[in-house]
Structure 1
């Protein structure tokens, strides 16, 4: 039986199961009039297990769903790790007593055999974005919900062991004027190789026709990443499908 399973929920929101522990990444369950998923919802908040931790890479609404966080019943016993002090304050306001900013390059123990490390993932304006690495025994997972620069992954790998699985964005989302916000297929493949991963699980792919799509455009897909990849597998997960490593 595998000690790692992944269920994608939507966008960069995924449920990670690692050696009996469960971690929710970049929670996003509720749409807004200006921000739609463009894909089905893989799980509801009510279907979530009691989580070992919740992590969020960015304060963007499709990575940090405050409406959904209100509904989760195990607030007092679930650690929440975020990238900015405002996000930590918001989580504590909703009853998450164990919410904290995890600064870049710092590590916390989630359980006796499970740790989390915050990895630099660039900035949104002046605010830092986090990526995270989860380690349990010999299994290491990289999660970069809002990351664009492959050089950050190369730098991380130069001082850390390889990971088994990388969850990286692939839609190359960018404004009409300005640089990309996240990786496209080429960068996701290069980032996976830089991390020494055996598997790429694409995230941050769907892009709905909503008011924000008039400003931000998609430039890539998971299938393009699969076509570019050599030396590792690309596992394209529809929302709600559970995959075992």
Structure 2
């Protein structure tokens, strides 16, 4: 039996993924500070979230691992599946059920399986293929495009949804080093994975006028990915979700 599937954008790379009766939160971000602004509304605060059956965190950067804010979520025993460096941070703010995964490891929560896949970023990162109820979602955090990611379809079968970062973030102060895949690279991966639906993420982020001019450089327009996907993978539908919007994905 194929379960229902819905994706709700909170902000940035933070989403609610509903598979059947189970709800997963990705990369919590609920606040902002100097040089870290979502660039779009934050649809919910932790105390406004529905009951969560699991949380996945790709890496320890604040805009993906805002645990000082997320600690306001009232259920500290929620299962958290995280990159290794996040474990101590999560436990320090009171979460008690924290499982680290390395790439190609997996764990189960209820009827869902969380499969960790490689990621490459400025710090250690893992990405996740979440499967269950005849559904599968690939959540890519803010990784670069790496050769291993091209194998996900072979490893895990057809994907219903891919959530891919698209802003091509560069660090100006590190020799203009690229740390996130850009729209064309995300579209290239889309053409390889061929999901039933592709959703861009990680694009509106801004470091503010000074930070964007001196520290970071990125593309903030998700339609760059929409256009690139039309060129690379014209058979794959692409949908841009606004914060707070819930999208039901057809079977």
Answer yes or no: is 1:121 the counterpart of 2:125. no
Give me the whole-angstrom Cα distance separating, in 1, the residues matched to 2:112 and 2:3: 16
- Tell me the TM-score normalised to structure 1 length: 0.92
* Per-residue Cα deviation, 1:33-86 (whole angstroms, up to 9, x for no partner): 23111111111212111211111111111000022122110112x11111123x
Aligned match of 1:167 in 159, 163, 167?
A: 163
Give me the whole-angstrom Cα distance separating, in 2, the residues matched to 1:25 and 1:175: 24
Cα contact 1:153–1:194 (8 A) shared by 2: no
* Per-residue Cα deviation, 1:143-193 (whole angstroms, up to 9, x for no partner): 001211142321333433121100001111111223321111111111122
* Per-residue Cα deviation, 1:70-108 (whole angstroms, up to 9, x for no partner): 2110112x11111123x1111112221111211111111
Structure 1: runs of 5 or more not aligned: none
Alignment size in residue pairs: 240
Give the CA deviation at 1:220: 5.6
Match for residue 54 of structure 1? 55
Match for residue 31 of structure 2? 30
Match for residue 106 of structure 1? 105
Structure 2: runs of 5 or more not aligned: none
Match for residue 126 of structure 2? 130
Cα RMSD for the two superposed structures: 1.7
Match for residue 147 of structure 1? 143
- Tell me the TM-score normalised to structure 2 length: 0.90
Give the CA deviation at 1:223: 0.6
Cα contact 1:4–1:19 (8 A) shared by 2: yes
Answer yes or no: is 1:234 the counterpart of 2:238. yes
Change in Cα spacing, 1:150 to 1:221, as seen in structure 2 (3 Å) is: farther
Change in Cα spacing, 1:18 to 1:156, as seen in structure 2 (3 Å) is: same
- Secondary structure of the 2:35 match is coil
Give me the whole-angstrom Cα distance separating, in 1, the residues matched to 2:177 and 2:145: 11
